[in-house]
Amino acid sequence: MPLSAGTKLGPYEILGSIGKGGMGEVYKALDTRLGRIVAIKQIQSGQSSRFEQEARAIAALNHPNICALHDIGPDYMVMEHIEGQPLHGPMGTDEALAVASQIASALAAAHKRGILHRDLKPANILLAESGVKLLDFGLAKTIDTGNDDTLSMEGSIAGTAAYMSPEQAQGRDLDPRSDIFSFGTVLYELLSGRRPFSGACTLEMLNAVVHDDPMPFDSTLYPIVERCLAKDPSQRFQSAIELADALKSPPARSPNRNTVRPSIAVLPFANMSGDREQEYFSDGLAEEIINALARIPELKVIARTSAFAFRGQNADVRRIAETLGVAHVLQGSVRRSSNRIRVTAQLIAASDGGHLWSERYDREVADIFAMQDDIAAAIVAVLQLKLSPHTVRRPAHTPPLAAYEAVMKARQQFSIMSPESFDRGREWLEQAIALDPDYALAHSLLASHLVTIANAGTKPAHELMPAARAAACRALSLEPEMPEALAALARITALYDYNWAEAERLFQRALTQTPISPIVRQLYGGYSLSGQAKRAVDALELARQDDPLDSYFRFLLSMAYLMDGRTEDAIAECRRTLEIDGRSSSSHVLLAWAYLELGNEEEALHAAERGYSLGGWPWVSSGCLAGVAKRVGDSVRAAQALERLGDGTSYSAPTGFAQQCLITGEIEEAAKWASRAIEQRHAPIVMILHQPIARGLRASAHWPAVAKRMNLPADSSGISRTLTAPAP
């Protein structure tokens, strides 16, 4: 039965639940004898043997990277309390190497005492200020006893399927090399951001572990990962000590044909129908082919925004491929007449411009879904991709054509990015849902769309977010693991509920789907801007690889660099963003922030003026210009800039006033306006408050009250200290 705050267990007073862990619930508690904070794991009924087993295992270990055991009771154990967050990728190489070395050291210590972990996975590893902490020895086993004490039915398998070794998945005898395989799965995920093995169910997952080779990726650490993941234990590192030694001097390595994924960009299909109104259909067909190919982990697919950036340019295919970093380009055209369509498609090799494949399809419009599958299958065959049976799966639900077309029209409106196009896009999605209430994609897009409108500041979050939540939940009731719907719900949970731990769990579910969608990476990176700079940088740098010409991705990456103290990198990224989209008002504003950080008020004013002249959302450009102008002594220009924000009562205006006060150092006023923006749930205020311009507020006596409104710690550490519950 769950324990409540105030409950006493011997000398320990329960303070609150931390979350699930291993065999039971984990609580934060006060040791009343020694006055220290501890973690207490209450053991589930029927798990006493496992409990004693874990207690014996932990008690035998004394290592800085292994959670320490303090005490045991009749049905609970008292452990070191660790402030940290579950391990997750992607990470940069240096950070991943540091983490991996500590894990290897912990395993070496455990193996030396004759103990296997047998459930090594990211959720059982916390990243704390003091370093890595290895948790949950509930499945630990003493080596060479010949007796597996795990409580499970005869013939069953104990552990977590995605991280098991092949011999563990097959129920065979284990030795330290099994933990080394699991270590390899963890390091693979840390570096790539995805799991090495996937499957639609546990049986498929276990089959992949035993039989499939993981998709390679480019990293100097990949040879170590590859050796850890050898199916034959004799081909792995033979001990954790040997592994730790290898991590001290990882081999230099260049990409080769065995480690670089085949890559493709699908350009917008030309509309040959003679009717500009049909452009949504040709664009939609190309986008659906992108989405179908993007479900293939073995294939790098450039996202829509970057692939469509060359529309109407008549650029050479080889130059396009070089710009996007791909080896193949798919071109096509669509001619629609009444209820029939003619589609031509051709796959071109970037190396010499040669045609690898071409085909013409004359079909009924109603056959559009089968045609998309045929084109994707042809590309897979030409590129000779090795696919497992569960790699490519169309959504189980096929919508009626009218609903599908409504979604394509909505997507076309989203690309325009104006208040008017927002409204039109919402109308098309609502029409698609009315035509087909079971269309999960339409519900998911509607959820994301409503969140975007609220964040842009055109309509109140309190009006839109409940509807967004309902749409996301409806999508997940139809497709429970849809990554985009999980990410949309995670954004709502974080930026509307300020429930950071639950948002993290939802994002982690979205990020376990392979391959990871660039949009999910981008949303995760944006969410991480609420105080997790390095994680935001890693996620957004990876998203940029698949969508290099998306100016919004690059703007968020610039913001991550600035928050991480990499001011020059932020300026350089802003300039690259403006080369792609010279009308990005937000990028000019971020340039102004960066120049203020460097003490260059003249350049900051120039950038702020440019951002203001381009329009954009008033809470962005007006607040920035007003702040910079007032800071340099031009109160008249500051007042003019603030006119766009009115008296501050409209939605999103408090964010603009808060930005102005943060720039000018008016801390008390900044706290007042920030609090109003937080009450409105205008999401950008959370990100602004973690930027350098808010440093004064975060160091002031006003910060604890402001932070409390967002369920953030008062020490300005952002969301990092709120994420202590293990990821699912």
Active site residues: 119
Residue type, 392: V
Map tokens 């939540």 to a residue. Answer: 469
Q: List residues bridging with 128 in a β-sheet.
A: 84, 131
Contact 597, 562 (CB under 8 A): yes
Q: How far is CA 16 from CA 31, 40, 76, 108, 723, in A?
A: 13, 10, 15, 34, 15
Any idea how long the chain is? 728
* Sequence-ordered list of residues with C-beta below 8 angstroms from that of 169, at least 6 positions apart, any chain: 157, 161, 206, 209, 210
CB 500 within 8 A of CB 719: yes
Amino acid letter, residue 237: F
Residue with tokens 């979205």: 510
Query: For the chain, how far is it from start to end, CA to CA, in angstroms?
Result: 21
The answer to whether residues 24 and 47 touch, using CB atoms and an 8 Å cutoff, is yes
Going across the sheet that includes 12-21, the strands are 8-9, 12-21, 24-31, 36-43, 76-80, 69-72
Nearest to 510 by CA among 494, 498, 496: 494
Characterize 195-223 residue by residue with b for buried, 16 or more Cβ atoms within 10 angstroms of its Cβ, and e for exposed: bbbbbeeeebbbbbbbebebbbbebebbe
The answer to whether residues 340 and 368 touch, using CB atoms and an 8 Å cutoff, is no
Give the tokens for residue 612. 């203001």
Structure-token pair, residue 347: 């796959």
Contact 629, 609 (CB under 8 A): no
Within 10 angstroms of residue 422's Cβ, the number of other Cβ atoms is 20
Q: Are 299 and 293 in contact (CB under 8 A)?
A: yes
Inter-residue contact 629 to 637 (CB < 8 Å): yes
Integer Cα distance of 636 and 626 in angstroms: 9
Q: What is the DSSP string of 264-316?
A: EEEPPPEE-SS-GGGHHHHHHHHHHHHHHHHT-TTSEE--HHHHGGGTT----
Q: Is 126 helix (H, G, I), strand (E, B) or coil?
A: strand
The count of other CB atoms within 10 Å of the CB of residue 170 is: 12
Q: Tokens at residue 79, please?
A: 């452990």
Q: Is residue 504 a contact partner of residue 488, using CB atoms and an 8 Å limit?
A: no
Beta bridge pairs of residue 78 = 40, 71
Distance CA 608, CA 702 (A): 27
Q: What is the DSSP string of 362-413?
A: EEEGGGHHHHHHHHHHHHHHHTT----TTS----S----HHHHHHHHHHHHH
Closest listed residue to residue 65, CA positions, set 166, 133, 151: 133
